[in-house]
Structures are given as C-alpha cells and as structure tokens.
Amino acid sequence: MWDAISGKLLFTLKGHRKRLVEIAYNPDGTRLATASDDGTARVWNAIDNAPSLLTLKHSPYSVHSISFSPDGTIVATGDVSGTVKIWNAVSGENLHTFDVFQGDRALQNEVSLQRIAFSPDGQRLATAHSDGIVNIWGIDTWKVEMTLTGHTQGVDGVVFSPDGQLLATAGWDYTARLWDAASGQELPRPLPTFRAKRLRDAIFSPDGVRLATASEGTPPELGGITIWDVKLWNITSREEILSLLGHFDSVNEIAFSPDGKRLATSGADGTALIHYLDIDELMRLAQTRPSLRVLKLQECKDYLHQDPCPPLK
C-alpha cells in the first residue's frame, strides 16, 4: 500500500501463495479484495497491515477477476475456467455459484473468463471472455440478459459508465468499444488502441466524460494509455484527448482518482505510475521544473493539445 501523494510505501499485505492477478476496493475504501493464481481471493482491512479478514476458497484454478458490488455487501470472483462465485463480503459465505460457459462453449477448453464488473446499481454483472463475447447477467436470476458480440478476439477489459448507461470493452483485436447498456447495441466506430496494440484494461472517469484504455507492450516496445472523450465517440476523426507513456512493458491495470485529476497505472515492468491529467496542474509542473522555461508552441500541441499555451496561473 502506497501514499498516493508522496509515493511512500505504507505497508505490505502478505498471504497469497502465488501471483496476485487483480485487486478491488470496496466503495468506502476501507476494504481491499485481491484475486490470485493460488485459487483464492482475500479481503483485507485497507488501513493497516493486519492478516486478511477473509479467505475465499474459489477453485483450483487461477482467480482472474474480482469485484465489489456498489453497496459493498457482495464480492464476486471469477476464475479462468468460467466459474463465478458470489460471496457475502462480511461473513465470507458463498451465496451463489454459476458457470458462464454453457452448452457448446463449455466444451471449448481454450475459452477463459477474463474480467467481471458490476453495474452501478448492482443489478447486473458483466463477464468478458477470451472468445470475444461479453455477457450481461441479471443478479436476481443469474441468467444471461444480453450477449454482446463485436470483438474479433478476446476481451480483457469491461466496465460500466458511472451512470450505468454505457458499457466499455477493451479487446485483443486492438479496439475499444462502447455499448448501450440497456439495448446491447454497439455505438458506431470502435476506436483503435494505442499504437495498434492489444488492449488490457478500460476505465471511465468518475464523471463519465472520459474513457481511458491501457495497452500491452513488449520491450523495447512501450505499453501506453490513451484517454478518449466519450462525448465525441461518434465524431469521424475519433482523436484521443491524451496519450500517456512511462511504462517499458504492458500496462495491465488503470484507475482514476476520485476527482478524476490523476490516473494510476500498473505495468508488467514492475512499476506503478501516477499521471497528472489536470491541464492547470500540468502547466505548473512543466513550467516550474529546473529548466524554468515556458513550453514551446509545438510542445503545447503535442503534449497538452492546446494552441497557444494557456497562461501560467
């Protein structure tokens, strides 16, 4: 656990026997859930380094994804085989278990579950799979309400917009796609990924206006983050707001700060980075570093997407 302002290491949580795959905070930030290749998920107190509060024994397979419900009462876990389990976030009781692969798909051993995500109202759960299909499940019946098809390869990222009206997916086919969450219809013009790379994750900003996507990279190629304006999704040019570099390998996970002014990223290069997104803050940083110079016109165009440079406040 790190201090997001200073970058100071606060404490380390230990308990999993194998690689950590994904983490998720509960809504009030007091608990942290972790998913691991050791077949378990754990729930921790997020404010100290005490032993885990709960150990959820999911299956013999790698637990690929984990998600808290919006009210924090439920934890959902999903493993690579397609088994999803629903747990009481306080007692650790297994409330329900189901398999996302049914019929012929259940016989395809090469198909795996990649990611799960609750809707903001907690009434639906999205599951993304390695065959490019995304299913939306109703939590009352745990039946498939709709199936989203469009990606030509696997889907690593799936997330609902904060208002629940949209669903974003990030795929191995180098595209990010937006869907109407009510009808399941895809919005026009899927967006290409950063430098035509496989996408690993997608996340909406807290206000739902921006969508950030993370892409893979294999050294010496760089992984990257691209930020798009959701309001301009149907514009023919489809130009991104900002592209971020810094990792020397794939970017695996991304998360906005609650105020949307910073973006945290974790990479396969073993680093986590905090990116400043607020233009005024970027200007202050750029013009008060040791060089003590005003940004050049081309730098404003390339890095801040502004012409001319805004005045330093």
pLDDT value for 218: 58
pLDDT value for 313: 44
Q: How confident is the model at residue 197 (pLDDT cuts 50, 70, 90)?
A: confident
* Lowest model confidence (mean pLDDT) among 27-36, 79-88, 100-109, 266-275: 100-109
List, for residues 74-125, the tens digit of each pLDDT value: 999 999 999 999 999 999 999 999 999 875 555 566 789 999 999 999 999 9
Is the pLDDT reported for residue 267 higher than 60? yes
3-state SS, one letter per residue, for 56-72: EECCCCCEEEEEECCCC
Half-sphere exposure of 281 (CA within 13 A, CB side): 7
List, for residues 285-298, the tens digit of each pLDDT value: 666 655 545 556 66
Is the pLDDT reported for residue 224 higher than 50? yes
Is the pLDDT reported for residue 233 higher than 80? no
pLDDT value for 235: 42
Is the pLDDT reported for residue 250 higher than 80? no
